[in-house]
Structure 1
């Protein structure tokens, strides 16, 4: 299936989820993350802030956990055509950008690239770790600049059921996908 068709299909599927379902499924995904990866104090995690209108996974659960366990949290901020990583704290001030995404008011790029985990937004991920996002390519460029040892983790409500037919050479696959029912590795581990 082509990315454009997959994008339409999974945006439509997400719209059918109630607020309660989004929260419950997000909690299951979060539980799989903590049980499988067992993040510890001092880890650095890059997380996205969910876009409500796209019914994205509620990463606030992850953020609260990180703050409670002394795990450093970084979030993306779009600056022109680039994605920077801003470190956030419990008192960080946010505003909504032109796309309806909540971002830190600060434009200060942390300069951190050696994340332990990058939790990545997506609409769909196939059984090879190829992802379909919103079509802007921010995360492919971002992935090019982080160390290979950083775990690139997608989170999604849906399991991989179909292949993406138009994967490009510059598309960088995920290492893992977490769904409400499983943690899938694309590294040949576990």
Structure 2
């Protein structure tokens, strides 16, 4: 399922993707979770994923603190304050913070969670490394994901899967 949906994401017509990204962004900005969050963790997206750059730029203009993930071996992940001038490419081709200065989970109001497939209860299939499931296992803030309609799938989650609280679809 993971590979099929990733292929669909990569084949998504760019003008349709841009339109859906704009609609999803509008939905996210209108959400209670966004409006009532001061510190938001998001991700730096692959080209086939929901484009997070406009989210980051507008959230900063709105006076919100933005965090992005930094990953380590064995599935460890932390969130670090976003600084566009302090990023370096990872072995996966994503940009990641240079800094190791972790922001405590208790400081994060909202995590914008990536994923490949989501079921109706918000469980997700990611890229397979388990970073977000580990991180979210004891996270007490809000979680949200922005997905394309074809990413919603029917599947039985694994026992360790942590559902996203709100999934916005277009």
Q: TM-score, normalised by structure 1?
A: 0.81
Q: Tell me how far 1:39 sits from its aligned partner.
A: 3.1
For the structure 1 residues 56 and 14, does the alpha-carbon distance in structure 2 shift closer, same or farther, using more than 3 Å as the test?
A: same
Mapped to 1, the partners of 2:27 and 2:106 lie a distance apart of 24
CA RMSD of aligned residues (A): 1.9
Distance 1:79 1:65, change over 3 A: same
4+ runs deviating over 4 angstroms: none
Q: 1:15 aligns with which of 10, 13, 38?
A: 10
Matched, 1:93 2:86: yes
Segment of structure 1 superposing worse, 35-44 or 115-124:
35-44
- Does the residue aligned with 1:28 lie in a helix, a strand or coil? helix
Alignment correspondent of 2:46: 51
Match of 2:55 among 55, 62, 66: 62
- CA–CA distance in 2 between the matches of 1:41 and 1:68? 15
Instruction: Quote the Cα distance in structure 2 between the aligned partners of 1:33 and 1:162.
Output: 21
How far apart are residue 67 of structure 1 and its match?
0.8
How far residue 41 of structure 1 moved from its aligned partner, in angstroms, is 8.1
Counterparts of residues 99-178 of structure 1 (less than 5 Å): 99-147=92-140, 150-158=141-149, 161-165=152-156, 167-178=157-168
Describe the SS at the equivalent of 1:32.
helix
TM-score normalized by structure 2? 0.90
CA distance in 2, matches of 1:9, 1:63: 28
Partner of 2:20: 25
1:39 aligns with 2:34: yes
Moved more, 156-165 or 14-23: 156-165
Cα distance between partner residues in 2 of 1:142 and 1:161: 22
Instruction: Report the secondary structure of 1:57's partner residue.
Output: coil
Any gaps of 5 or more consecutive residues in structure 1?
1-5, 181-190
CA distance in 2, matches of 1:77, 1:24: 29
Partners of 1:96 and 1:138 in 2: how far apart? 18
Matched, 1:73 2:63: no
SS in 2 for 1:174: coil
